[in-house]
Chain A
Amino acid sequence: MSSAGNFFTSKLDDAIGWARKFSIFQYPFVTACCGMEYMSTAAAHYDVDRFGAGFPRFSPRQADVLFVVGTISHKLAPVLKTVYDQMCEPKWVIAFGVCTCTGGFYDNYATVQGIDTIIPVDIYIPGCPPRPENVIDGLMKLQEKIQKNEQSRALYDPCSKIGRPDGIQGKCSTEGKIKHIEPAK
């Protein structure tokens, strides 16, 4: 392709990215206490509508950003995966709160240790719950990603520790730790 052609396609990508990043149709998958902070971010005081993300769609087929807000239990994990699979491309995922990022302090039998073990995550917003400023910061980082047409495709593998940004690396809890305690006689 000629350089003029390159110029036009890259400009077209820029324009599409710009249009997409200011018309985020989000699907809030709200399960726990982080939902309160999500609501306060969405309401008038912090107002995510300023970033074009003020319009939640409660159907995954019409949404392009999946907000996973709150603890995800193993029982719920297949539902989350189904919702993600139902979304049309291009799609992005935000992990809202430490519960979704790494499981947080729920290191127990019931909780998924980071939703990035089951669906790819684009932006991690830490905090328990994250303050609205933090959420807006995450949203703006997502907008940068959308502008550059980048999407995360990798899942996190807890044993090889690949697929999660440095700084929120979890530990592989299966390594030599499981020991079954026999009942006292």
Chain B
Amino acid sequence: MTENHTTSKQPGILTPLQRLQEKFSDKIIESHVFRGDETAVIGLLNLRSVARFLKETPEMDFNFLMDLTAVDYLFYTGGRVQKEFRFEVVYHFFSLKFNKRIRIKVPVDEKNPQVDTLSDLWASANWYEREVWDMFGIQFKGHPNLKRILMYDQFEGHALRKDYPFNKRQPLIGPIN
């Protein structure tokens, strides 16, 4: 870990975030680095171009989408940042070749929760996006098979949204208890 830290600070070698800032300087809404973990917040419309850049630049080669999830900031009051949008979709990329990580966040509006799919770039995005659709009701444009993956088809609503009643039950058989 320490080695990574020092190499990334060597002059002439850019960290993935620095490369991203170089290329998309006007499109990054916000970015921060915490103990070597780099995060960039980008707009909805730039997601695919940024993702493609991360994957296809040979000096970064982010070939592994480790995680894709979402956060619902409906009742969010704490923290330093006032959230403008209700949802945030979070992508964690990893480069097996360079042992580097980067986190990309995309704010999503409540009225039109739609994000472009990444399932054609990283195959693992397919099921992650289905999970985010199932739990948060965020749609992924261009996804080949966007249906529920954890809950059953008869389930109504999206269980991890903060306004889903915590004690609402939708059993397939048996009493509503």
Contacts and interface: CB of A to CB of B under 8 A. Distances in A.
A173 B165 contact: no
A107 B168 CA distance: 10
Interface in B58-88: 74-75, 86
A107 B86 CA distance: 26
A74 B169 CA distance: 9
B175 to A, nearest CB: 6
Nearest to B152: A75
Interface residues of A, number: 29
Interface stretch (A3-11, A36-44, A86-94, A110-118): A110-118
A1 interface: no
A173 to B, nearest CB: 5
Interface string B41-65: 0000000000000000000000000
A35 interface: no
Contacts of B25: none
A174 B74 contact: no
Interface in A68-96: 74-75, 77-78, 81
Interface in A38-69: none
B174 A112 contact: yes
A75 to B, nearest CB: 5
Contacts of A13: none
Contact of B177 (A108, A173, A181): A173
Contacts of B110: 183
B33 interface: no
Contacts of B74: 183-184
Interface stretch (B11-19, B89-97, B121-129, B156-164): B156-164
B172 interface: yes
Given A109-B159, A117-B177, A78 B172 contact: yes
Ranked nearest first, the 3 interchain pairs of A and B with the lowest CB-CB distance are: A158-B177, A118-B174, A117-B174
